Structure 1
Amino acid sequence: MNRNFAEFLLPDALMRGLEKEGFETPTEVQAQVIPAAMEGLDLLVSAATGSGKTAAFLLPIMERLVGAPRSDSGTRALVLVPTRELARQIHVHFTRLGSYTRLNNGVITGGDSKAHQIATLRKNPEILVATPGRMLELLEKGEADLSDLEILVLDEADRMLDMGFVDDVLTIIARTNPARQSMLFSATLHHRGLSRITEPLLREPRVLTINPVREQHPDITNQVILSDGPEHKQQQILWLLRNETYDKALVFTNTRDGATALGNVLMGEGQRVAVLHGELEQRERNRVVGLLHSGRVNVLIATDVAARGLDIPGVDRVINFDLPRSGDDYLHRTGRTGRAGEQGVAISLVAAAEWNRLESIERYLNLGIERRSIEGLKASYKGGTTKRSGAKKGAKKTGAKAVTAKAVAPKPKDRLRDRKNIGKRRLPKSPAASEIGVEAGHAPLGKRRTAQSQPKPEQGDGAKD
């Protein structure tokens, strides 16, 4: 679709902001969302990360507020996001695109000073970008008012559901102006809990599916390197960081302890590394991200807290030290590279215990991941799962074969009474005998066993029968 931003008839102040930021041709999501949003429609949008959706909803919001200024109202637009990092990224986008307008915005997130945020709210910024928890807290204390809200945007709604924000989001929606316009953006529209939000939020929405979440990103090369375990992975990742050509790299682990441990190892090897995880204070998180932005470090080791919302130019390498837990998490991690038409590489280090998860991710995303290896650091593990087929192939005389043989010809039990009666003539059993315990080796009723006559069980027998 060959379009340009002039076709949207945006105000001059916004066109100057676009020109200043080097925006020339709208992305696919911008080309479809901007005109629909400018019509005032409610939108339900599925768009992959890195597709340019932030500008897709910010430009229509700013166009509306610039074209119809109001001095007697409170907050006119609210953007809800799952993480502090994403809130700050949207704030940066707004500041750049709206640099020639007089619009104000505020950021309301957990981890920052409430007093400062209350002071921000009292200035009645036209646009708020907020995380659900802190926004609801200020609403309940009467410090925020959304009765004048004209536009409500939920960005990365699937992530908000995964993080347990659904009840907070529903409460916030209930406190907004019911006549508002609403837009919901999600990496996937198939999230099982999404309808809980869409039903109270949207009215006859237009559904737009752009760059479906499972569609392979054309600018990202996906690779997998087999590994024999954590220590082997450390050697492999050190080789990659020393020998591959890249500007900035993001390395993902599944736990904060894993991120810290890997950071210590790589720093000990002289790598310029910083670590980011959810337990850091907001000031420290800002400092760490700033180090990567400025180039003082070129490797950021992070948990999935950084998989959403981080938009750092120059990230051309994503490495999964731990394979992510789901296909969606894989997309959100790898989507930190290959942005804005740049080429990126995503490398996953996969041990034997992660193989089934890798195959599941490939099936879910319909993704072909290139296999590669590092000379001198090849894994002894060759991929795939071990199949127990010794009984059929005769390769191993192990448990599988024993079970098969047992099923064909059951081994008779070695019973104590059988050994005891060797050489003796068997008497026919009467029905009453089994009822009173003779079959089980007990003495008939009315007779007593002496210590001498009572047989001693051998090891492995006894009460088993």
Structure 2
Amino acid sequence: AAFLISAFARLLTRPEPEQRRDNQPRALVIAPTRELALQIHRDAEALGRHAGLRLGLVYGGVDYDKQRRQLARRIDLLIGTPGRLIDYNKQGALDLRGIEVAVLDEADRMFDLGFIRDIRFLFRRMPKPERRQSMLFSATLSYRVLELAYEHMNNPELVKIEAERVTADKVEQTLYYPSNSEKIPLLIGLLRRERPKRAIVFTNTKRNAEEVLAWLRGNDIRAEILSGDVPQKKRQRLLGQFEQGEFDVLIATDVAARGLHIPDVTHVFNYDLPQDAEDYVHRIGRTARAGASGQAFSFACEDTAFYLPDIEAYIGQKIPHEGVSPELLVEPKPRARIEHHRGPRPGGRSGRSGGKGGDRSRGRAQEGRRRRRGNGSRRRGAASGKQAGG
């Protein structure tokens, strides 16, 4: 709402340029993932229901020509992912020279996913910073993010919100030290004991996610998997079914779950401890939202226990631990057979058929994540660029 209300206010209080072309949106919101773009679009529809502004949404993995046609309908506010925006711009279907408001959401994730060159490409095709309002939002303000702000914004002002605690106060955290062979029995035992209304199980790899899915389904637990190569329409359907309670457990990797906003998650399970301490905070932050309470269970197993010191140093506390009791180690039934999907990579850039590539190569993502550690202060904030004259 912070940037949507500001963008709406600007568009509604200033006249539309007389020479504006049909393919020139007045405001642009750039999001790193499809799911975040969809969420922003839903919020924009709700907040701007009576504003009379035309909204647009473009991202990879869905009908290319259908999205292209909407760009010729004088969209006021366009929301999109970097790759698809660049595709349309290069083909002449999207003209950014009329942008009055530019918003970059989750700027730190743009670096993580290797999109920063795409972002610079888009900014350089907009009017100069002094001729537009610019807003940049980021969970962490590293030197790279600040450099981007000063490069493409007009005398930006820094707005910071310092959190008293890194993790949510109402998340009850519990740590277990299982052996690798005990992880599945322990997970099933905890799920049976807790009977969560809505739970997310995080793994570090898609292979582990598929392994967990097979065991949970074999033990009569309604579960689905959210991995990076699930087609976009199926992803949206799965998320809708999860929110409607058609299944109880969503298994996901960090990359696949980025940008998701799922309400009423009661439990989070770190089947694998994350390699990055910030990912631990993002994971358990999926629960205990909007004043609710939540549970977070983490497994420090033989393969991931050495990530624990960095995590506890980052959150500034020791995670309470419990012993792996025999009562929790259930005897699981045989695993189910699951179909292994091999589809296109996720992201905003794809061919007309939706079957090519993603929003740039994921190869740069890992490099960006390695460089991020220790790169600047860990503050939540937003930078807002002022237009000349106020």
Give the aligned partner of residue 168 of structure 2. Answer: 217
CA distance in 1, matches of 2:133, 2:204: 38
Q: Secondary structure at the match of 2:144?
A: coil
Give the aligned partner of residue 31 of structure 2. Answer: 81
**Contact kept? 1:252, 1:303, Cα under 8 Å:** yes
Give the aligned partner of residue 203 of structure 1. Answer: 154
5+ residue gaps, structure 2, are 330-390
CA distance in 1, matches of 2:194, 2:270: 15
Q: Secondary structure at the match of 1:110?
A: coil
CA distances 1:248-307 after superposition (whole Å, capped 9, x unpaired)? 101111111211121111011001101001111111111211110111011100111343
- Counterpart pick for 2:112 among 156, 162, 165: 162
CA distance in 2, matches of 1:213, 1:305: 27
User: What TM-score, normalized by structure 2, do the two folds share?
Assistant: 0.78
Give the aligned partner of residue 228 of structure 1. Answer: 179
Q: Secondary structure at the match of 1:353?
A: coil
Residues 318 and 120 of structure 1: CA distance in aligned 2, closer, same or farther (over 3 Å): same
Give the aligned partner of residue 70 of structure 1. Answer: 16
**Contact kept? 1:81, 1:132, Cα under 8 Å:** yes
CA distance in 1, matches of 2:114, 2:260: 20
**Contact kept? 2:149, 2:156, Cα under 8 Å:** no
- Which has the larger displacement, 269-278 or 297-306? 297-306
CA distance in 2, matches of 1:258, 1:377: 24
- Counterpart pick for 2:233 among 255, 275, 283: 283
Query: Is 1:183–2:135 an aligned residue pair?
Result: yes
Amino acid at match of 1:159: R
Residues 124 and 367 of structure 1: CA distance in aligned 2, closer, same or farther (over 3 Å): farther
Residues 160 and 237 of structure 1: CA distance in aligned 2, closer, same or farther (over 3 Å): same
Give the aligned partner of residue 145 of structure 2. Answer: 194
Moved beyond 6 Å, runs of 4+: none
Residues 246 and 200 of structure 1: CA distance in aligned 2, closer, same or farther (over 3 Å): same
CA distance in 1, matches of 2:254, 2:89: 29
CA distance in 2, matches of 1:255, 1:213: 32
**Contact kept? 1:225, 1:348, Cα under 8 Å:** yes
**Contact kept? 2:167, 2:285, Cα under 8 Å:** no
CA distance in 2, matches of 1:277, 1:332: 17
- Counterpart pick for 2:84 among 123, 134, 147: 134
Deviation of the 1:80 alpha carbon: 0.9
Give the aligned partner of residue 447 of structure 1. Answer: none
Deviation of the 1:98 alpha carbon: 1.6
Amino acid at match of 1:186: S
Q: Secondary structure at the match of 1:305?
A: helix
Query: Is 1:152–2:102 an aligned residue pair?
Result: yes
Amino acid at match of 1:318: V
Amino acid at match of 1:184: L
Q: Secondary structure at the match of 2:155?
A: coil
Deviation of the 1:196 alpha carbon: 4.5
Deviation of the 1:240 alpha carbon: 1.5
**Contact kept? 2:204, 2:254, Cα under 8 Å:** yes
Deviation of the 1:378 alpha carbon: 7.5
CA distance in 2, matches of 1:77, 1:324: 37
For the pair shown, the structure with the greater C-alpha radius of gyration is 1
Amino acid at match of 2:276: S
- Which has the larger displacement, 211-220 or 333-342? 211-220
Query: Is 1:255–2:201 an aligned residue pair?
Result: no
CA distance in 2, matches of 1:102, 1:62: 10
Q: Secondary structure at the match of 2:303?
A: helix
User: What does 1:85-96 correspond to in 2, within 5 Å?
Assistant: 85-96=35-46
Give the aligned partner of residue 281 of structure 2. Answer: 331
Give the aligned partner of residue 376 of structure 1. Answer: 326
Q: Secondary structure at the match of 2:204?
A: coil
Give the aligned partner of residue 316 of structure 2. Answer: 366
**Contact kept? 1:157, 1:186, Cα under 8 Å:** yes
**Contact kept? 1:221, 1:346, Cα under 8 Å:** yes
- Counterpart pick for 1:264 among 193, 202, 214: 214
- Counterpart pick for 2:298 among 345, 348, 358: 348
**Contact kept? 1:226, 1:378, Cα under 8 Å:** no
**Contact kept? 1:227, 1:378, Cα under 8 Å:** no
Give the aligned partner of residue 261 of structure 2. Answer: 311
Deviation of the 1:69 alpha carbon: 5.0
CA distance in 2, matches of 1:112, 1:154: 22
- Counterpart pick for 2:4 among 58, 61, 73: 58
Deviation of the 1:316 alpha carbon: 1.6
**Contact kept? 2:226, 2:257, Cα under 8 Å:** no
**Contact kept? 1:308, 1:333, Cα under 8 Å:** no
Q: Secondary structure at the match of 1:370?
A: coil
Deviation of the 1:211 alpha carbon: 4.0
Amino acid at match of 1:320: N
How many pairs does the alignment contain? 323
**Contact kept? 1:79, 1:152, Cα under 8 Å:** yes
**Contact kept? 1:267, 1:273, Cα under 8 Å:** yes
CA distance in 2, matches of 1:240, 1:62: 46
CA distance in 1, matches of 2:195, 2:209: 23
Give the aligned partner of residue 47 of structure 2. Answer: 97
Deviation of the 1:245 alpha carbon: 4.5
CA distance in 2, matches of 1:346, 1:207: 33
Residues 82 and 275 of structure 1: CA distance in aligned 2, closer, same or farther (over 3 Å): same
CA distance in 2, matches of 1:270, 1:308: 28
User: What TM-score, normalized by structure 1, do the two folds share?
Assistant: 0.66
CA distance in 1, matches of 2:231, 2:63: 12
Deviation of the 1:199 alpha carbon: 2.7
Amino acid at match of 2:2: A
